Amino acid sequence: DAKTTQPPSMDCAEGRAANLPCNHSTISGNEYVYWYRQIHSQGPQYIIHGLKNNETNEMASLIITEDRKSSTLILPHATLRDTAVYYCIVRDPYGGATNKLIFGTGTLLAVQP
């Protein structure tokens, strides 16, 4: 079972920041937080991951709370092309000799013009 909880859907106005929350209250010390997104009828796309520090790349920023029980993915200037289902996943990338990803139901982000 997925170890994360996300709202089923969110709306965001084009050009504004999209803040997608994720709860992972049972996260263990070795587990990272990953974000993927899936645009309709395409394969999931990796966005970003982090352990405990905030992370930023060209796509997004990831803010992880100090207790690591929740995180927020931030798309700073959402565009219509960011409309997708966003998945928050926790996993230990260095243990268990597996790349298995356990997807939850994700958040459908609808960017409105």
Partner 1 sequence: KAGVTQTPRYLIKTRGQQVTLSCSPISGHRSVSWYQQTPGQGLQFLFEYFSETQRNKGNFPGRFSGRQFSNSRSEMNVSTLELGDSALYLCASSLEVLNTEAFFGQGTRLTVV
Neighbours of 38 (CB within 10 A): 16
Shortest Å, Cβ 22 to partner 1: 16
Q: What part of residues 38-77 is at the interface with partner 1 (CB under 8 A)?
A: 41-46, 49
As given in the structure block, the two tokens for residue 108 are 């459908």
- Measured between alpha carbons, how far is 61 from 38 in angstroms, rounded to an integer? 17
Examine residue 7 and tell whether it contacts partner 1 (CB under 8 A). no
Examine residue 99 and tell whether it contacts partner 1 (CB under 8 A). yes
Examine residue 101 and tell whether it contacts partner 1 (CB under 8 A). yes
Examine residue 21 and tell whether it contacts partner 1 (CB under 8 A). no
As given in the structure block, the two tokens for residue 10 are 């969110």
Residues making contact with partner 1 (CB under 8 A):
32, 34, 41-46, 49, 87, 93-95, 97-106
